[in-house]
Amino acid sequence: MTKSIAVFGTGPGVGQAVARRYGKEGYEVVLVARRQEPLDRLAGELSAGGVTAHVITADLDRTDAVPALAGRIRASVGDPTALYYGPAPTDLAFVPAVGLTPEQLQDRMPITLYTLLALVREFLPAMIDRGDGAVLSAQGAAAVRGRPNMSGWPTLLAAQRNYLQSLAAEVAGLGVYVGALYIGTRITGTPFDADYERRRARGEAVPDMPAADPAELADLLWDMHARRDRQETHVPAGLLDG
């Protein structure tokens, strides 16, 4: 039976790298994001390398559309063996905690938590029935430790992390692996990294941030999945020391 992965949030960076990495391992890949054109380009690249890729456009802010989205995925590959969830809000809008409002959290709840919950409820039962499956994620390290002036979306990522930790403990004995990367670097090839480099070139004061290759991050996630020996990895190592 051919294995498959649905990549929710197949944007530049880790999402696309995960699609390439799992395709390399023989997985059929379902690419899910808002915009058709980048997905078509990636699907063409994967197909040229012998990977079967399916393109599905969807707005992951629309939790109510998850049943229809799940139906489209099943029509392509059946119930996927694995799912990767890594979308981000269009406007990250990091704010000081003293200025955080309920409305700012409410606007980001669907894409951060509600849709993930709905997708897991759709696809986890089949994983448990098979005795094999994976729920994977990659997010910013602010989910793990609060930082000054970086409240807002990370507050919800911390809630997502709590959910994934609980889920991992509950399904570990049922053949389902839950793993997450928490990344404290800029990721090369992303809009954030391009903006960072432009600002640095102009002489603006920017924080000193190491860079990470998304392909290497996808390798880490695959290694976690294959070994199933840890539920989280922090990048860079020792990120939260001190």
Q: How many other C-beta atoms lie within 10 A of the C-beta of residue 90?
A: 10
Structure tokens at 180: 């997450």
Query: In whole angstroms, what is the distance from residue 78 CA to residue 51 CA?
Result: 17
Tell which residue, 116, 121, 131, 122, has the closest CA to residue 180. 116
Could you give phi then psi for residue 35, rounded to 5 degrees? -100, 130
The Cβ-side half-sphere exposure at 197, using a 13 Å CA radius, reads: 10
Which one is predicted more confidently, 211 or 205? 211
Least confident of 29-33, 42-46, 87-91: 87-91
Q: Sorting pLDDT into bands at 50, 70 and 90, what band is 189?
A: confident
What is the reported pLDDT for 239? 61
Return the HEC string of the chain. CCCEEEEECCCCCHHHHHHHHHHHCCCEEEEEECCHHHHHHHHHHHHHCCCCEEEEECCCCCHHHHHHHHHHHHHHHCCCCEEEECCCCCCCCCECHHHCCHHHHHHHHHHHHHHHHHHHHHHHHHHHHHCCEEEEEEEEHHHCCCCCCCECHHHHHHHHHHHHHHHHHHHHHHCEEEEEEEECCEECCCHHHHHHHHHHHCCCCCCCCCEECHHHHHHHHHHHHHHCCCCEEEECCCCCCC
Which one is predicted more confidently, 58 or 195? 58
Q: Sorting pLDDT into bands at 50, 70 and 90, what band is 70?
A: very high
Asked whether residue 66 carries a pLDDT value surpassing 80, the answer given is yes
Q: Sorting pLDDT into bands at 50, 70 and 90, what band is 44?
A: very high
Would you list the domain boundaries of the chain?
Answer: 4-234
What is the reported pLDDT for 241? 58
Tens digits of residue pLDDT in 3-38: 999 999 998 899 999 999 999 999 999 999 999 999
What is the reported pLDDT for 205? 73
Mean pLDDT of the chain: 91
Tens digits of residue pLDDT in 150-167: 788 889 999 999 999 999
What is the reported pLDDT for 178? 98
Asked whether residue 111 carries a pLDDT value surpassing 90, the answer given is yes
The CATH number of 4-234 is which of 1.10.760.10, 2.10.240.10, 2.170.120.12, 3.40.50.720? 3.40.50.720
Least confident of 78-87, 153-162, 183-192: 183-192
Q: Sorting pLDDT into bands at 50, 70 and 90, what band is 93?
A: low
